[in-house]
Amino acid sequence: MALPVRAQLKYWGIAAIAFAVVLWFLGDVLLPFVLGGAIAYFLDPVADRLERAGMSRGMATGTITIGAVVLFVILALAVAPALARQTSQLIDTAPELFRQLQSFLTTHFPSIMVEGSPVRETLVSIGETIKERGAQLVDTVLSSAMSLINILLLFVIVPVVAVYMLLDWDNMVARVDELLPRDHAPVIRNLAREIDATLAGFIRGMGSVCLILGTYYAVTLWLVGLNFGLVVGVVAGMLTFIPYVGAIVGGALAIGLALFQFWGDWIWIAVVAGIFFFGQFLEGNFLTPKLVGESVGLHPVWLILALSVFGSLFGFIGMLVAVPLAASLGVIMRFLVGQYTDSKLYRGLSDGDHIGE
């Protein structure tokens, strides 16, 4: 005999509260495992394809691991030094860029830069903040997120966790399936398949979009000779995960830097702007429809809200779990709405049930 609905709600509510408490107190500890699990989930389809091609699960996992190590070494040797150098230079030159911005606005738009104007006061405040704290920015970020030793442990633990979870992924899924409540197992399996389809479409698809756009922005901005173009491209690609934010932030940074570097040479400024316009055209018309699809069901506003709420409550670990939780809640809400629209509470009495008929 199934448990009453009230008892089930009580148990599921306790489980949700326990999950939130664990996330709150153990967020930093769980971070490597969440990242490792996300990597394993991302790569599981690749391992499945290799298995269908005739490899064992262990051989497929080993092939993926070797490929990932080779790719990491190539990126570390070819891209990481230039990226680190440009990031450091950008932090060092940020105060000078703001001084040049003030001088530019004073020369070309003197009416908005009069003494006491909001624009002037804002720029002065930002410039002083950068001057005082710009040199400490990287240290501040690192110390606020985690200590250096934790970062090193992160780079060690995450790959190990990812490899073990990828190797044992199918067994873990089967074990979880065995633990499902028998009365609700079919419904939970259907919901899990919908959630997996949503996550696969969004995380894997959007991750591919971010990688393609980040590479495109970084390479093209580097080719046109934009200072710090590699950093801007990487930032724009990473932020593409959040709807509209990558294009806005990356475009503003790139065009702003181009105005300083190429002022008067409008062709190159137009080229930098054109790079981002073409990137958005590519994303909206080809990459997102092909790689993400239109049936994902994650509305941009819902995604931004989830990232903001979970990031505010649980920090970086909250932002990592925001997308799967948002996808899960979206699927569950659609299921509940479907149940509601099929119920008598919504449909009322049928024609044959009306009194007197």
pLDDT attached to residue 104: 65
Distance of CA 29 to the CA centre of its chain: 20
Amino acid at 218: A
Provide the 8-state DSSP code for 2.
P
Residues with Cβ < 8 Å from 9, sequence gap 6 or more?
Answer: none
SS3 content of the chain, % helix, strand, coil (to 5): 85, 0, 15
pLDDT digits (tens, 9 = 90+) for 216-225: 998 898 888 8
CA atoms within 13 A on the CB side of 156: 6
C-beta atoms surrounding 244 within 10 Å: 12
How far apart CA 157 and CA 155 sit, in angstroms, is 6
Enumerate the H helices of 79-204 as residue ranges: 80-108, 118-133, 137-145, 148-167, 169-178, 185-199
Q: What angle do CA 306, 157, 91 make, to 5 degrees?
A: 65
Q: What is the rounded (10 degree) CA torsion for 335, 339, 342, 344?
A: -160
pTM of the model: 0.66
C-beta atoms surrounding 253 within 10 Å: 21
pLDDT digits (tens, 9 = 90+) for 61-77: 999 999 988 988 887 77
Between 169 and 306, where is the model more confident? 169
Between 47 and 154, where is the model more confident? 47
Q: At what angle do helices 27-52 and 169-178 cross, to 10 degrees?
A: 110
Least confident of 49-58, 114-123, 139-148, 204-213: 139-148
Q: What is the mean pLDDT of the chain?
A: 76
How far apart CA 19 and CA 33 sit, in angstroms, is 15
pLDDT (average), residues 24-36: 78
Q: Can you point out the beta strands (E) in the chain?
A: none
pLDDT attached to residue 117: 61
How far apart CA 306 and CA 325 sit, in angstroms, is 8
Burial class (CB in 10 A: 0-12, 13-18, 19+), 106: middle
Please give the share of the chain, as a percent, with pLDDT higher than 90. 6
Between 63 and 327, where is the model more confident? 63
Residues with Cβ < 8 Å from 310, sequence gap 6 or more?
Answer: 318, 319, 321, 322, 325
What are φ and ψ of residue 120, in 5° steps? -65, -45
Highest-confidence range of 100-104, 129-133, 282-286, by mean pLDDT? 282-286
- For 248-254, the CB contacts below 8 A with 24+ separation are 250/217, 250/276, 251/276, 254/217, 254/221, 254/226, 254/229
Which band of pLDDT confidence, cut at 50, 70 and 90, is reported for residue 142? very low
CB-based contact 291:208 (threshold 8 Å): yes
Least confident of 64-68, 136-140, 263-267, 299-303: 136-140
| 292, containing H or E segment | none
